[in-house]
């Protein structure tokens, strides 16, 4: 059902410092900051030959990333995103197998302009999973 790894997301307490680290220290191709108000984050994508890294930074006082950074003040891996061909079919299959979809269960448009859903980390070994329709 899941396809390729689309990205790994890392919550960061200082977006500018993280961008400098990936672009300067590691020499990676880093995209521009992109505000995602529907998700409460600012994102920056780092392009790699085989996938992407998504830097997440809080956008607004009710950002879901704030709680994560409170528990992990240095930042850390927040979620993994896998591609799926049909997000509704994937959702229905996962729910039938007992997985919990976060929110109201309906896809939102993600940072790539495509439908996304998140799966409860308690159902996946403590890892928040994002599904993105390709």
Per-domain boundaries in the chain? 5-133
Q: What is the pLDDT of residues 28-54, one digit of tens each?
A: 999 999 999 999 999 999 999 999 999
Q: What percent of the chain has pLDDT over 70?
A: 100
Torsion angle, CA of 49/26/35/132, rounded to 10 degrees? Answer: 30
Catalytic center residues:
130
| pLDDT at residue number 76 | 97
Mean pLDDT across the stretch 100-119? 95
Mean pLDDT across the stretch 52-77? 96
| pLDDT at residue number 33 | 98
Q: What is the pLDDT of residues 74-108, one digit of tens each?
A: 999 999 999 999 999 999 999 999 999 999 999 99
Band (pLDDT 50/70/90 cuts) for residue 1 is: confident
Mean pLDDT across the stretch 7-27? 97
Phi/psi of residue 78, nearest 5 degrees: -100, -45
Mean pLDDT across the stretch 49-72? 96
Contact 93, 99 (CB under 8 A): no
Phi/psi of residue 61, nearest 5 degrees: -75, -15
Mean pLDDT across the stretch 49-64? 96
Q: What is the rounded average pLDDT for all residues in the chain?
A: 96
Q: How many CA atoms lie within 13 A of 10 on its CB side?
A: 16
Q: What percent of the chain has pLDDT over 90?
A: 99
Query: 15 vs 51, 53, 76, 77, 100, CA distance in Å?
Result: 20, 13, 13, 14, 30
Instruction: Note the CATH number of domain 5-133.
Output: 3.10.180.10
Contact 15, 58 (CB under 8 A): no
């Amino acid at each position: 059902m899941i396809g390729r790894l689309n990205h790994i997301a890392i919550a960061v307490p200082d977006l500018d410092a993280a961008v400098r680290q990936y672009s300067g220290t590691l020499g990676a191709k880093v995209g521009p900051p992109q505000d995602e108000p529907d998700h409460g984050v600012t994102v920056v994508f780092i392009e790699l030959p085989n996938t992407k890294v998504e830097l997440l930074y809080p956008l607004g006082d009710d950002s879901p990333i704030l709680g994560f950074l409170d528990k992990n003040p240095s930042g850390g891996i927040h979620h993994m995103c896998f591609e799926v061909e049909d997000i509704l079919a994937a959702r229905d299959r996962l729910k039938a197998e007992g997985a919990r979809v976060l929110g109201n269960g309906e896809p939102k448009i993600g940072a790539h302009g495509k439908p996304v859903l998140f799966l409860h980390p308690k159902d996946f070994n403590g890892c928040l999973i994002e599904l993105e329709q390709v």
